[in-house]
């Protein structure tokens, strides 16, 4: 029987050769066990390009792991630009929420600021929230009124504990959109705690 996803079969065989008994890359996605030994194989496949969108997404999801931090960034960016597919690009952004490094800042900002990428930018916005500094904060504040990003921007500003964002987030407490309102409440609580700590240090 010919597999519907021959690339997946090949990846599974390579993983089996290093002692990982899986039938699909999605077995890694769904496991709670760590698999650092699989990261080089997954990166090799993603780097050379995977024909199947479904399998490429599975590889990216499998790379959404702390073991890929510091080694996956460049290849994930390459895959983002190569694959003109919003769903895969979104998943790549999600991977960066786990593997993001300070050196990724400028490239993530370029992606977030490019409106042509649409909703694919949402998780890159969250990744920005994990990078400290004025550049990340300024970029997020500029995107606060973009409808398809606003929820993620609010959450990211909360993660940053951005004091500068407080006055811009307060109006969202009256939002008719429940998720946005709750995100604003959560972000403002984090910012309030940060202000309290700052005042105690004085």
* Residue 196, pLDDT above cutoff 90: no
Helix axes 53-62, 6-17, angle to 10 degrees: 30
Contacts 24+ apart (CB under 8 A), 176-182: 177/151, 179/151, 180/150, 180/151, 180/154
pLDDT band for position 200 (cuts 50, 70, 90): confident
DSSP-assigned states of every residue in 23-56: SSTHHHHT-SS--GGGHHHHHHHHHH--S-HHHH
Instruction: Report residue 172 as tokens.
Output: 């969202």
Distance CA 17, CA 132 (A): 40
- Per-residue confidence (pLDDT) for residue 2, from 0 to 100: 41
- Per-residue confidence (pLDDT) for residue 9, from 0 to 100: 96
Q: For domain 102-202, which architecture applies? A: Alpha Horseshoe (1.25)
Mean of pLDDT over the chain: 94
* Residue 52, pLDDT above cutoff 80: yes
Domain assignments of the chain as residue spans, ordered by start? 1-99, 102-202
pLDDT tens string 55-107: 999 999 999 999 999 999 999 999 999 999 999 999 999 999 999 999 999 99
Percentage of residues in the chain having pLDDT higher than 90: 91
pLDDT band for position 1 (cuts 50, 70, 90): very low
What is the pTM for the complete model shown? Answer: 0.93
Flag the least confident range among 1-5, 39-43, 177-181: 1-5
pLDDT tens string 96-155: 999 999 999 999 999 999 999 999 999 999 999 999 899 999 999 999 989 999 999 999
Could you tell me if 160 and 136 are in contact, meaning their C-beta atoms sit under 8 angstroms apart?
A: yes
């Amino acid at each position: 029987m010919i597999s519907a996803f021959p690339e997946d079969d090949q990846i599974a065989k390579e993983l089996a050769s290093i002692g990982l008994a899986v039938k699909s890359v999605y077995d890694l996605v769904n496991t709670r066990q760590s698999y650092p030994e699989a990261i080089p194989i997954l990166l090799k496949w993603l780097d050379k390009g995977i024909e199947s969108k479904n399998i490429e997404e599975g590889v990216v999801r499998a790379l959404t792991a702390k073991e890929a931090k510091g080694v996956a960034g460049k290849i994930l960016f390459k895959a983002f630009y190569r694959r003109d597919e919003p769903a895969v690009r979104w998943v790549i952004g999600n991977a960066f929420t786990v593997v993001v490094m300070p050196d990724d800042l400028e490239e993530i900002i370029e992606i977030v600021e490019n409106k042509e990428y649409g909703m694919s930018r949402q998780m890159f916005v969250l990744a920005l929230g994990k990078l400290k500094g004025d550049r990340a904060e300024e970029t997020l504040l500029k995107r606060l009124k973009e409808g398809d990003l606003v929820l993620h921007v609010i959450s990211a500003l909360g993660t940053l504990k951005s004091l500068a964002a407080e006055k811009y987030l307060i109006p969202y407490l009256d939002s008719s959109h429940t998720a946005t309102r709750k995100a604003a409440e959560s972000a403002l609580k984090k910012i309030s705690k940060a202000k309290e700590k700052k005042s105690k240090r004085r």
